[in-house]
Amino acid sequence: MSRKSSKEIRKVNISSSLESEDISLETTIPTDDVSSSEEREGTVKITKQLIERKELLHNLQLLKIELSQKNLMIDNLKVEYLTKIEELEEKLNDAIHQKQLLSLRLDSQLALQQEDARKHQALMKQEMETILLRQKQLEETNHQLRERAGDIRRSLRDLELTDDCYEKLKSLPEDQLSIPEYVSIRFYEVVHALRKELSDLQMKKKSLTEELSGYKSQLKCLTELWMICFSKQL
């Protein structure tokens, strides 16, 4: 009877220990009715199970603490990563904005350069057209000057007049004379005056040459006479 009651007491203690998770050895092992080795073995087994359960509960508590710490670390990492993501998104938005500004500036500069190039090309075209027109005008002027030079050369060949032609043209009024006829008259007068002056100079040269020859003859005679006188004195 006492053995049966002790077994019931142990069952009650085991169930209560499972519910409370805090049972000591003093409450689970009766001190009054322990009389056999079988009871001691049952008590040792129950105690071992309780110790293992406590260890399991302790390990579970440690795992919960570790899990809580890891969850906290994960939350911190999430916050850190979210902060970095926000910073990167902000930098990305700034970079996109800068890219848009640079693109607009580049488009504006490109448009200005294209406009400047178009104006420069138009100016170069205008200058080239002006140069070509000026070249054409110079070529025409050169052609006209060549024709006029040929006319002048031909007219100069016809400037010389005979005495009869000169007298005939000289008798006409100047307003009835053509330009070549007027120039021919002036040319005849200038050339005639020069020819007359040249003839006078030639005659004067001839006279001076004859006079110089006379002086040379006289000098030669005087020199010979002086030599004769000088030789006689010696």
Give yes or no for residue 86 having a pLDDT over 90: yes
| Res 13: pLDDT | 42
54: number of Cβ within 10 Å? 14
What helix, strand, coil percent values describe the chain, rounded to 5?
90, 0, 10
Q: What are 149-195's pLDDT values in tens digits?
A: 777 666 666 667 778 888 888 888 888 888 778 888 888 888 888 88
Terminal Cα distance for the chain, rounded: 213
Same domain? 30 vs 90: yes
Residue 95 lies in a domain: yes
Q: In this structure, are 107 and 181 located in the same domain?
A: no
Looking at the domain assignment, is residue 125 inside a domain?
Answer: no
Q: How confident is the model at residue 19 (pLDDT cuts 50, 70, 90)?
A: very low
Average pLDDT over residues 5-22: 40
Residue 214: which domain range?
Answer: 159-234
- Looking at the fold, whether 5 and 107 belong to one and the same domain comes out as yes
**Which range has highest mean pLDDT (23-32, 46-55, 128-137)?**
128-137
In-domain check, residue 72 = yes
Q: Are residues 15 and 101 in the same domain?
A: yes
The residue type at 98: Q
Please report whether residue 94 resides in a domain: yes
**Where among 78, 112, 146 does a domain terminate?**
112
Q: Distance between CA atoms of 159 and 184, rounded to whole angstroms?
A: 5
Domain count, the chain: 2
Q: End of a domain among 112, 135, 168? A: 112
Q: Is the domain of 16 the same as that of 74?
A: yes
Asked whether residue 131 is domain-assigned, the answer is no
In a domain, 211, yes or no: yes
Query: CB within 8 A of 50, min separation 6: which ones?
Result: 17, 23, 28
Would residue 150 count as lying in a domain? no
The pLDDT tens digits of the residues spanning 53-69 come to 888 999 999 999 999 99
Q: Do the domain assignments include residue 124?
A: no
Q: What is the mean pLDDT of the chain?
A: 78
Let me know whether 98 and 204 are in one domain: no
